[in-house]
Each structure stands twice: as C-alpha cells, then as structure tokens.
Amino acid sequence: MSALVGVKRVIDYAQRIRVRADKKGVETANVKMSMNPFDEIAVEEALRLKEKGHVKEVVAFTMGPTQSSQILLTALAMGADRGIHVVTDFEIESIHVAKALKKVVELEKPGVVILGKQAIDGDANQTGQYLAGLLNCSIATNASVVEKDGDSYKVTREIDGGLQTLKISSPAVITADLRLNEPRFATLPNIMKAKKKPVDKKTPEELGLTLKAHVETLKVEEPPTRQAGKKLESVDELVENLKKLGMI
Amino acid sequence: MFLKNGVKSLSSVSSTFKLNGKGVNRSYFEPSFQRNPKFSKINSKDVNHFKEILGKSGVLTLEEDPDGVASYNTDWMKKYKGNGTLVLRPKTTEQVSQILKYANERKLAVVPQGGNTGLVGGSVPVFDEIVISTQLMNQIEDLDDVSGIVTCQSGVVLANLESYLHSKGFTVPLDLGAKGSCQIGGNVATNAGGVRLLRYGSLHGSVLGVEAVLADGTIVDCATKLRKDNTGYDIKQLFIGSEGTLGIITKVVILTPPRPESVNVAFFALDSFEDVKKLFVRTKKELGEILSAFEFVDRGSIDIVVKHSKTGARDPFEDKHPFYVLIETSGSNKQHDEEKLNHFLEQLLSEEDGLVKDGTVAQQTQQIQSLWALRESVPEALQREGAVYKYDISIPLSNFYQIVELMRERIGSKGTVIGYGHIGDSNLHLNITTPSFDQSAYDLIEPFVYEFTSKHRGSISAEHGIGVMKPKVLHYSKSEPAVDVMRRIKESLDPNGILNPYKVLPGK
C-alpha cells in the first residue's frame, strides 16, 4: 500500500514578487522556484507513515512544465521512492490537478493521498477537496496530527473554533497544515540517490484528460504602496491634523 | 596597577563583578579604576545647549526618560552598565561637529554608539559619559550602479543597507549575526569581521572612504569614492577599527560586490577536528572561487541552540557528532555552482570511511536560513543559558580546538565550554557558561586563555575589539612600543581624551 503525495513548484516563499509588465501575472523568469512549503510537510508526513510501517512506499506527484521535475527531485531527495510527472505547459487550475490525481489514484490505488492544504501562489485550498469529491472518498483537511488507526486514519484538524478529531476510512485524502510536522533536511546520500530513482512522465492526454480553462485572469496589480507616516510632536497637533483630514 | 614589562600580577588582570540583584545569573562589570576627575560633570546649561543644537527630540535626559537613557547605557549582553544621564541623537555631520566642539571645550566625556551590539563593552558609558547615538543618521546617500560604490551615513542598519543593495543588484561585503541591529558606522569603527571575510576580505580593504569628526569638532572628509588614491597617509585606516577613540565616523563609502545569483549552503557532521581541517583544505581546493563562508560549531553549541531556540531549531541529523561545518557558496551562475558542489559532494560521499559522516544541502531558501541559524543563534542562546564568559581569539589551526578541550578540563563540572566560529579565518569564539557568575570559574579562565593565545602568537581579540573588557590584556598581543605609538596618535588627535575614555588603550 502506498502513499501518494502531491508537490507543486511555486515561487520560493522568500522571493520578492513583482507584477509582470503585461499585468496578467507575476514575474517568474529568473526567479527562484521551490517546493510549496505545505507540500514539503505533506512529503514529510508520508515519509513518517512509511517509517512507522503503515505504508510501503511514497510516490511523489507533480503537474506542470518540464522544470517541475526539479521539485520531484527534492521530494525524492527527502526520501520518496518514485515520482510521477504530468508534463504540461497549460496554466492549470486546482480542478485540473484534482482530475489528473484522480486518474493516477485509479492507476496506483494508494491507501492515502496527502496534499498540502493550499499552494502559496494561488492560495486556492481546493485541490484536496475536489479530489475527494471526484473519488467519492473520505477527506480531512488542515491536518495537524495524523495517526493510523487500524485501517482508518485519525486526523486532528485545525478549524476556526479550535481542534477537531475525525476518524476517516481508507482510501482517504488528507491535506497538511503548518503544524503537522517539521520537514527533514534531505541527507546527502538521498540527494545523490534521488537522480537515479524512477520518474514516470505522462502527458494529460495519456491520462485521458482534456484541459480547459475555467478561469480567465483579467488583471494582476500590486497592492497600493504604503504611504509614509508623519510624526507629530503633541496631542494638540494630532487633533489639528485629524480635523484637517476630516476624520473628526 | 598596569605594569609595563609584561610581568603581571593576577589582581591587575582580573576584574571584579558585582551581582546586580536582579536574578542571580547576571552581574555587571565593575571597573577597577576610578572616574577620571579631569572630566567635567554635566549641568543644565550643557543640556540646554545641546537642545539648541539638536532640537528637543535629539536629546534624551535621565529625568525626562529614565528607561530610554538606561537602555543606551546597557550593552547587548547586559554585562556592562554605565550611569550616563544624557543621550544625544544628531542627524547630520554638522550637528556632530557642533556637539563635539562644545564637549571638548567643556571637557565632557562622550561615548559614540551605533547599534549597541558590541561584545566588549565599548559602546556604553563606564561612568557618566554622554552617549552620542548615530541612530538618526540613517540615510543612504548614493549608489554608483556601475562601480557598486555606495555612500551612506554611519547610522544605517546593516540589514537595511543589504536590502537596499540587494534590490539594486549588489551586496554588502560584510555579514554578521547582529545585522538586524548593528550600524555600518559601528561595523567600520570596530573593523567588524563576520562570516564573509573569507570571501570579501576585511573592511580595511572594502571601505574606500570615511568622513569622521575629531574631538575638537573638526570634520575630516576622506569620504572619497576612489578605488585607488595614494595621496599621503591613508587617514581613513586610522578610524577603521579605532572603536570611537580617534573620531566619530559620520559617513562611510564602501565598494560593494555584485549580488550573487546563486547561493548554496551545505552542512556537514564530522567526528574529529583533524577531519575538519582536512575538509577545509579540500573545500578551498575544490570549491575555490565560489566558497563564501566556512564556519564551524561544536556539539555543545548545537545543544545550546536547540535547547533555547524560540524558532524550533533542531538537530540537523539523526545522530550526534562532535563537529559540524557550514559551507556556503556564492556565484554568478547557478548551474556552474551546483555542478561544482555536487561533484565535490559525490567525491566526499564515495570515500570509504570518509571525512564527512553525514550532511545535507539546503533545498530551498527556508533551509538556508535554518542552517545558518544553527551557527548564528549561538550567542543569543548562550545569553539564555546563564553567565557567559566570551572570548574571541585568532589562533593557528594546529592548536585551534586545543584551547576548548583544555578549558573543558579546567572548568570541569562548574560549567559548559563550547567553541564555534570562523574557522576559515582561524578565528575561534570560545565561550564558557556557568549557571550564575562564578569567580572561581572566572579565575580558571583568565589569564589562562590569554596566556595560551600569546604563547601561540595569536590575537586576544580577533574581531570583537578591545572596548573596556580588554585594555589590560592588550599587551598579550601588542608590544609596548606599538601600544606607545597608539597612545601618541590618541594624544595628538584627542588631547583632552574625551572620545570613549577608558576604552582600548591601557593606562601608562
């Protein structure tokens, strides 16, 4: 029984984001790209399940252009056993990823699918939910604790009111939240071995998918620049300024 | 008290510490000398005069802001605390000149202060000296984007200078753990070293110009933007590393290198110091021009960081090892650097019973920061551990870790001894902690550490400077004639001795 983990190539979280000149997106040329941080946590959780003997192998999945293979390499360097890369230059949305994942699940039949709760570029927080809907299987999102309980999973979720613990049956989709774990450093031997691990490349057509855009980006803008504040010497001056601005 | 011929009695070397009452593990340095009576005491006329020069917001007095003034009087380690009652915060070189002219005439002692992150008590008053803070002199004035030469006021925070330069495609040729608070003027005044000295050299090389104000208010403008300028004595070199005793630095001109496009960090575990040295030789040879940092931390350092970390720092590997090395590469071509690094790593890993027992390479920026944190958070973690006795020495690599082992034997169960630092520059940060200040432990450390250093022709202060902590032990690394030349320069540039008195130079 395997664990399938989804990883996405996104702009490194520490990079400064610049809007493209055509205002249709953000600048990605010559910008450092990394694995989505929540996906890193997902990979770590899958590896821990393997170490505890609950799954036999960890399969890393990504969907994106050729460069996305770098991100698969990172997952393999952390300890994943093999990778699946659905190669496409299409501007994919969560629903496309979910449909591709569904096809892979039908082929691989994993016991559990672990995804990051959302990607730091789109912040959609939808892929896991779409996938569970398409598969008609159980799902627990925003997981902060995952435990195997016989054939089921006991998952603690971080929700608005606090913590909720669910018992869900396998096969299940789990999406990882920040406090689920601290991802390991990839050790040198694994980094070296990563290049030799098998990666299966597929096109969307081979999976029987036709990709169609559901969303059109009209415009991307930077948030308004912060105006410099003004330091005032006394309360009287403050009142005077507030009056001038018509605020009191 | 201060003996000339290198013959010293223990009492002249040790300092006494007084428990400050607030928590047993903190004690403040008590000077073994008196306040020099030649300095005047501040009166209300002086305060009003400064208020006229700087405006109300440029002057902090003890009556009006006791907590504020107290913070300027205490150093980062909470080891040195002065009793100053006045803090001045000029915004321009002209204001600094006016302040000093007046102070010199009145014979009022002053302490120039930047980010107050110094580690030898050089940035705070010993008695009632006036603090002159450069924190409001924070303008970056000019960047020539062809040459990379940047001009800025001395109060620019290092991290801010780095952000600015980074956005323009350059980088500061200097980096240290205190970057969020330290100011470039202070860095220059202390000739700060840091983690990139290995790659970019010292500030004596990368600083092209300095504008400073002398004790009598004279503005000495050597803030030229020239790479080559052999016109007489190179005065700016005097100010670099003078720790505020020859003039107050008001402006700095630095040659900045292009920002590296590709940065990689690798972290290794090794089982012996001999292996660390061998790794250093191989790294220099195989990574060559892309090597930008080679730092080490010992097991004890990692233990302390992990114990006190507020950011979840943890052991990088499953097994514990006695030594760890952090290697950073910086270059202009990602592919080239990665190939070089991977080749180097493959070699290391393919060896039977190799030098490196475990290792990792950062896969993303977050990991680069986590790995650096394992090295850079040691000083902060030490502060939380207890009383800290901090030593910064240059020592030949052949005896480098020996002093750590010797001190561990001497200290025994009284405390913990750790070593870490810029091994690439032969600079060891030896740190000892005890739960609270322990005179018997202290007596086992000094003068032993200094004597060991002197015996191996090392430096008793590789990069931290002398401050108020080390004037008495300066003779371990500098001959009397050399110190005498320093005194003559000091006397001619600051005859009243108002600039940072009691610091750097030992009394005659």
B366 with A35: Cβ contact below 8 A: no
Angstrom distance (rounded) from CA B451 to CA B446: 8
The verdict on ipTM greater than 0.85 is no
Closest-CA distance of chain A to residue B340, Å:
14
Q: How far is CA B452 from CA B2, B109, B459, B471, in A?
A: 20, 36, 10, 18
Tell me the shortest Cα–Cα distance from B226 to chain A, in angstroms. 33
Asked if A187 and B317 come within 8 Å (Cβ–Cβ), the reply is yes
Residue with tokens 């990139």: B196
B26: pLDDT confidence band, cut at 50, 70 and 90?
low
The torsion angles phi and psi of B493, rounded to 5 degrees, stand at: -90, -25
A13: chain B residues, CB-CB within 8 Å? 364-366
Contact B345 A192 (CB under 8 A): yes
Does B148 score more than 80 pLDDT? yes
Cβ neighbours of A196 in B, within 8 Å? none
Q: List, for residues B440-490, the tens digit of each pLDDT value.
A: 999 999 999 999 999 999 999 999 999 999 999 999 999 999 999 999 999
In the predicted model, what is the mean pLDDT of chain B? 92
* Least confident residue range of A27-31, A106-110, B35-39, B303-307: A27-31
The pLDDT tens digits of the residues spanning B63-89 come to 999 999 999 999 999 999 999 999 999
Rounded to an integer, what distance in angstroms lies between the CA atom of residue B429 and that of residue B381? 14
Instruction: Summarize the confidence of residues A197-216 as an average pLDDT.
Output: 94
Inspect the interface and report whether the beta carbons of B360 and A185 lie closer than 8 Å.
yes
Q: Could you tell me if B363 and A9 are in contact, meaning their C-beta atoms sit under 8 angstroms apart?
A: no
What confidence tens digit (pLDDT) does each residue in B388-421 have? 999 999 999 999 999 999 999 999 999 999 999 9
Residue B261: per-residue pLDDT: 87
Q: What is the pLDDT of residues B259-316, one digit of tens each?
A: 998 999 999 999 999 999 999 999 999 998 999 999 999 999 999 999 998 887 889 8
Does B351 have pLDDT greater than 60? yes
B94 or A247, which is more confident? Answer: B94
Chain B residues whose beta carbon lies within 8 Å of the beta carbon of residue A194: none
pLDDT for residue B23: 38
Contacts of B371 in chain A (CB under 8 A): 185
Please write down the long-range contacts of B339-342, taking CB distance under 8 Å and 24 or more positions apart: B340/B286, B340/B287, B340/B290, B341/B264, B341/B266, B341/B287, B341/B290
**pLDDT value at position B6?**
34
pLDDT by residue (tens digit) across A50-96? 999 999 999 999 999 999 999 999 999 999 999 999 999 999 999 99
Confidence of residue B8 (pLDDT cuts 50, 70, 90): very low
Average pLDDT of A17-39?
Answer: 90
Mutation choice for B interface testing from A67, A78, A188 by most B CBs within 10 A: A188
- The confidence score (pLDDT) of residue A245 equals 87
Instruction: State CA A142 to chain mean position distance.
Output: 12
Is B208's pLDDT higher than 70?
yes
Residue B19 has pLDDT above 60, yes or no: no
CB atoms within 10 A of CB A147: 14
**If you average pLDDT over residues B110-137, what whole number do you get?**
97
Question: Does residue B1 surpass a pLDDT of 70?
Answer: no
Query: What pLDDT, on the 0 to 100 scale, is given for residue B228?
Result: 94
Cα separation, B460 vs B173, whole angstroms? 25
pLDDT of residue A192: 84
pLDDT value, residue B354 = 84
Record the tokens describing residue B197, joined without a space: 């000295």
- Residues of chain B contacting residue A11, judged by C-beta atoms under 8 Å apart: none
Beta-strand relationship, B358-361 and B248-255: unpaired
What backbone torsions phi and psi does residue A37 show, to the nearest 5 degrees? -55, -40
pLDDT at B7: 34
From CA B355, how far away is CA B444, in angstroms rounded? 34
CB within 8 Å: B267 and A185: yes
Instruction: Give the H/E segment covering residue A237.
Output: helix A235-244
Q: Is the pLDDT of residue B47 over 70?
A: yes
User: Which of A31, A32, A191 best probes binding to B when mutated, by most B CB atoms within 10 angstroms?
Assistant: A191
Mean pLDDT of B113-117: 97
- Mean pLDDT across B13-27: 43
Alpha helices in B312-352 (DSSP H): 334-350
Q: Report in angstroms the alpha-carbon separations of B441 from A4, A143, B373, B412.
A: 57, 50, 29, 9
The pLDDT value recorded for residue B16 is 44
